[in-house]
């Protein structure tokens, strides 16, 4: 079973559970936004077509391409793909903000009056998609963004952490190469207020609920 199928089935189950619990005439819609690499976008689109979008409805699955950046050597020189073309590569996790904006995904979210957006990596099979407890926690605390963390496997496990930096009263994500003694780690599982997510394309200052 693919990870996409796993997530799709969880979304479908959640929709049906909410319909039953709330005694709704129709299943509620939970849109799914998927950022792809330029290298696998067409293949991913074909896969979703083949799987009939896991019964979620084509109109509720928004696939968009990640941006790219030029490649450099360690000495700061451009790497060429061929004699006339600079090599490029996907622009990393942080590229999601501009990609959402440039693809029209933000406009789609606003049209649908979406309030909260859960963001996670595709390779985490344990993720509870559209987690009502996580989203409810962020709503209750009126946070701009929430971040889930979990205990480290060992005190010296090299993973990212949420920590206070210097004398600051704000949380920040720190690289694994520091703070080896801290207990909890992060695993790229966040929940954004939709208005904050839109602002992140140009601004990166927000309060964290962790």
Q: How far apart are CA 5 and CA 49, in angstroms?
A: 12
Q: Please tell me the predicted confidence (pLDDT) of residue 205.
A: 41
Q: Please tell me the predicted confidence (pLDDT) of residue 181.
A: 57
Q: Please tell me the predicted confidence (pLDDT) of residue 180.
A: 56
Q: How far apart are CA 48 and CA 52, in angstroms?
A: 6
pLDDT tens profile 50-71: 999 999 999 999 999 998 889 9
Burial per residue of 26-52, b for 16 or more beta-carbon CB atoms within 10 angstroms, e otherwise: ebeebbbbbbbeeeebeebeeebeeee
User: Could you tell me how far CA 128 lies from the centroid of its own chain?
Assistant: 13
Q: Are strands 61-65 and 32-36 parallel, antiparallel or unpaired?
A: parallel
pLDDT tens profile 14-47: 999 999 999 999 999 999 999 999 889 999 999 9
């Amino acid at each position: 079973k693919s990870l996409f199928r796993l997530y799709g089935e969880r979304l479908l189950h959640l929709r049906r559970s909410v319909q039953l619990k709330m005694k709704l005439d129709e299943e509620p819609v939970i849109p799914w936004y998927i950022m792809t690499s330029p290298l696998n976008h067409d293949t991913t689109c074909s896969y979703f077509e083949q799987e009939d979008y896991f019964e979620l409805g084509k109109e509720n699955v928004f696939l968009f391409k990640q941006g790219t950046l030029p490649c450099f050597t360690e000495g700061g020189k451009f790497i060429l793909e061929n004699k006339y073309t600079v090599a490029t590569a996907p622009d990393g996790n942080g590229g999601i903000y501009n990609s959402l904006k440039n693809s029209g995904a933000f406009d789609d979210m606003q049209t649908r009056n979406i309030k909260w957006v859960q963001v996670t990596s595709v390779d985490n099979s344990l993720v509870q998609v559209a987690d009502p407890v996580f989203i409810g926690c962020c709503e209750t605390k009126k946070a701009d963004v929430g971040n889930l963390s979990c205990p480290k496997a060992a005190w010296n496990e090299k993973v990212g952490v949420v920590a206070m930096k210097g004398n600051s009263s704000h949380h920040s994500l720190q690289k694994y190469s520091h703070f080896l003694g801290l207990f909890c780690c992060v695993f790229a599982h966040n929940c954004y207020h939709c208005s904050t997510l839109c602002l992140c394309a140009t601004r990166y200052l927000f309060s964290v609920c962790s």
